[in-house]
């Protein structure tokens, strides 16, 4: 994965710890971790990751040692972490450490075989509350990193700001694609709402910045025109459909500075990149998810978007026993998204087969949320961009607010994502099922109208 | 609670007994980038103001917010 990087070139800058590694130093750090992960056979390593050097060393070290590595959120709540450990029984649990050295703990694992092709496990965002993981092979991850490098035109002169979490497939792909191109990755845990983020972006002369649609709304509200340093030539957007107005605005802005906005589409199940809009096709193709990445192909079958390519996952896992399974999809991913292709082969997403909401880049299954609410009483859940509204026949304002916080903690999103409202009675169809069309109308995305409202 | 405290409690989902004077960005679990945008919108709505770009980034504590409103001649009390 880091083959292209030349020895003395910079591979990583930890902008928060003010530490940097060359490719030689990164390789030797990964080797050191691999040495601490010695086992007689292929095992499973849980890498609880933060955006720091130790987490990258842990991830690459686990892969170097020949194990399967699950990239997970170091900031997740303790009960969620232990549920995952319980379900998968990893041989090692690795947590972030200081000075680029992760903390490795050996655990008692069951005797089992891990499939030789399995290399990375990632939480599929639709199931954050459950232990379901996507199983990815080396071929999946490497082919995707190379395809991304190809359409972005990455080379060793690039310096990507990696502020998205590494356990998030988009964040992982920024790291992988740049290391595969011999470029430098700047790691930070700072948020775009902090002045320090913009200072670091500028101080380290980053050339690109990746974000979900909400990141672009933040950029607009904090004044990206002044804050984006001239070194930034490329903006990468994925993680949900961004409004056409924002696509047009950022496309115009970037082109005016001789830069580029890439609008992209993907799923964790595709390691994750599936499609991208070539910047020269904007603004004409604003609103599109783009064309298939190099090496992949797109079709629409019975209204559903189907992707074929070498980056389609092996399958899902839900427990330790599933680690033995091999390729179950044969390179064909039914995305669950509804869409259409135009005459030029550009994909337009029109909806979801199952009920999902994209909340700040994360895909949450509405039915999953609904099941959790129904543990307390009758409830129905509807979703919009960045907000999930639950209508409950129980509770009062304070208790529903507390419940919203609980849900948010469970799924690892901000409490603003959940709006729980008390209703006297849920509208029912004649068959006794909830009539979602007759639920009170929710006004758009998860934010209040303010003097200059952020567009959804 | 005064008007500003109520705006913080609403936007960040804080309990009433919060020590607002000590509230700072990232020292509080509820105050992340998403909550921050919500907080800015909530204060703007409550006080009928519009913060400029620099202020949106500088709004990093309860006392900073109170100071910004004071500069505009606005009182946080009802």
In chain A, the domains with their CATH numbers are 10-351 (3.40.50.12780), 357-438 (3.30.300.30)
Helices (H), A156-238: 169-180, 195-203, 213-222, 224-227
Q: Across the interface, do A448 and B38 touch by the CB < 8 Å criterion? A: yes
Q: What phi and psi values does residue A134 have, to the nearest 5 degrees?
A: -85, 135
For the stretch A296-314, what's the b/e string if a residue is b when 16 or more beta carbons lie within 10 angstroms of its beta carbon? bebebeeeebbbbbbbbbb
Q: What is the mean pLDDT of residues B56-65?
A: 94
Contact residues on chain B for A416, CB-CB shorter than 8 A? 11, 13, 34-35, 38
**Interface residues from chain A to B (CB-CB < 8 Å):** 191-195, 198, 214, 217-218, 221-223, 226-227, 360, 401, 404-405, 413-417, 447-448, 450-452, 454
Q: Which domains does chain B have, with CATH numbers?
A: 3-71 (1.10.1200.10)
Contact, B74 vs B46, CB < 8 A? Answer: no
Give the C-alpha separation, A145 to A90, whole Å: 26
CB B51 within 8 A of CB B40: yes
* Arithmetic mean of pLDDT, A270-281: 98
Higher pLDDT, residue B40 or A129: B40
The DSSP secondary structure of A224-244, one letter per residue, reads HHHHS-TT--EEEE-SSPPPH
Cβ contacts of B35 on chain A, cutoff 8 Å: 414-416
Q: Characterize A364-392 residue by residue with b for buried, 16 or more Cβ atoms within 10 angstroms of its Cβ, and e for exposed.
A: bbbebbbebbeeeeebbbbbbbbbbbbbb
User: Which tokens in the block code for residue A271?
Assistant: 């390691």
Q: Rounded to a whole number, what is the distance in Å from the CA of A190 to chain B's nearest CA?
A: 9
Facing A451 at nearest CB: one of B12, B13, B44: B44
Q: How many residue pairs bridge chain A and chain B with CB atoms within 8 Å of each other? A: 70
The residue behind tokens 């459950």 is A130
User: Model pTM?
Assistant: 0.82
pLDDT of A447: 36
Q: How far apart are CA A65 and CA A30, in angstroms?
A: 9
Q: Which burial class, exposed, middle or buried, applies to A68 when counting CB atoms under 10 A from its CB (0-12, 13-18, 19+)?
A: buried
Assembly ipTM: 0.82
In chain A, the percentage of residues whose pLDDT exceeds 90 is 73
In this structure, the number of other CB atoms found within 10 A of the CB of residue B5 comes to 18
Partner residue opposite B44 with nearest CB, options A227, A417, A450: A450
Residue A99 in this model has a pLDDT that exceeds 50: yes
pLDDT at B27: 65
């Amino acid at each position: 994965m880091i083959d292209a990087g030349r020895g003395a070139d910079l591979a990583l800058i930890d902008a928060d710890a003010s530490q940097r590694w060359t490719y030689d130093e990164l390789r030797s750090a990964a080797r050191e971790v691999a040495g601490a992960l010695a086992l007689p056979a292929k095992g499973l390593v849980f890498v609880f990751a933060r955006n720091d050097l130790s987490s990258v060393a842990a991830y690459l070290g686990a892969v170097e040692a020949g194990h399967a590595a699950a990239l997970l959120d170091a900031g997740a709540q303790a009960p969620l972490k232990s549920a995952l450990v319980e379900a998968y029984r990893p041989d090692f649990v690795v947590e972030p450490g200081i000075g680029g050295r992760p903390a490795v703990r050996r655990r008692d694992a069951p005797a089992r075989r891990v499939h030789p092709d399995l290399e990375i496990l990632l939480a599929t965002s639709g199931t954050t509350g459950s232990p379901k993981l996507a199983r990815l092979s080396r071929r999946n991850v490497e082919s995707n990193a190379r395809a991304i490098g190809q359409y972005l035109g990455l080379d060793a002169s690039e310096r990507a700001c990696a502020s998205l979490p590494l356990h998030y497939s988009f964040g992982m792909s920024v790291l992988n694609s740049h290391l595969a191109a011999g470029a430098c990755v700047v790691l930070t845990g700072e948020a775009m709402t902090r002045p320090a983020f913009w200072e670091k972006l500028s101080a380290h002369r980053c050339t690109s910045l990746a974000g979900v649609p909400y990141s672009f709304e933040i950029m607009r509200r904090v004044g990206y025109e002044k804050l984006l340093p001239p070194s930034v030539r490329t903006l990468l957007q994925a993680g949900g459909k961004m409004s056409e107005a924002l696509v047009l605005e950022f496309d115009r802005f970037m082109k005016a500075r001789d830069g580029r906005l890439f609008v992209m589409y993907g799923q964790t199940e595709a390691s994750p990149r599936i499609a991208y809009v070539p910047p020269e096709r904007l603004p004409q193709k604003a609103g599109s998810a783009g064309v298939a990445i190099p090496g992949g192909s797109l079709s629409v079958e019975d209204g559903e978007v189907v992707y074929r390519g070498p980056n389609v996952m092996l399958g899902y896992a839900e427990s330790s026993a599933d680690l033995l399974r091999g390729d179950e999809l044969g390179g064909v991913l039914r995305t669950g998204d509804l869409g259409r292709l135009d005459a030029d082969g550009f994909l337009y997403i029109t909806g979801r087969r199952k009920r999902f909401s994209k909340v700040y880049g994360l895909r949450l299954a509405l039915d999953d949320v609904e099941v959790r609410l129904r543990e307390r009483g009758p409830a129905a859940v509807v979703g919009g961009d960045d907000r999930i509204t639950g209508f409950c026949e129980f509770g009062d304002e304070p208790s529903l607010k507390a419940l919203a916080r609980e849900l948010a903690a469970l799924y690892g999103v901000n409490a603003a994502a959940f709006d729980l409202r008390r209703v006297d009675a849920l509208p029912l169809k004649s068959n006794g099922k909830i009539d979602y069309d007759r639920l009170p109308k929710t006004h758009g995305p998860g934010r209040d109208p303010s003097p200059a409202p952020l567009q959804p | 609670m005064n008007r500003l405290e109520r705006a913080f409690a609403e936007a960040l989902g804080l309990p009433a007994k919060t020590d607002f004077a000590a509230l700072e960005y990232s020292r509080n679990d509820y105050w992340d980038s998403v909550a921050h945008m919500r907080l800015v919108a909530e204060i703007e709505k409550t006080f009928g103001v519009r913060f400029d770009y620099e202020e949106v980034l500088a709004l990093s504590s309860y006392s900073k917010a109170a100071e910004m409103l004071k500069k505009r001649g606005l009182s946080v009390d009802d």
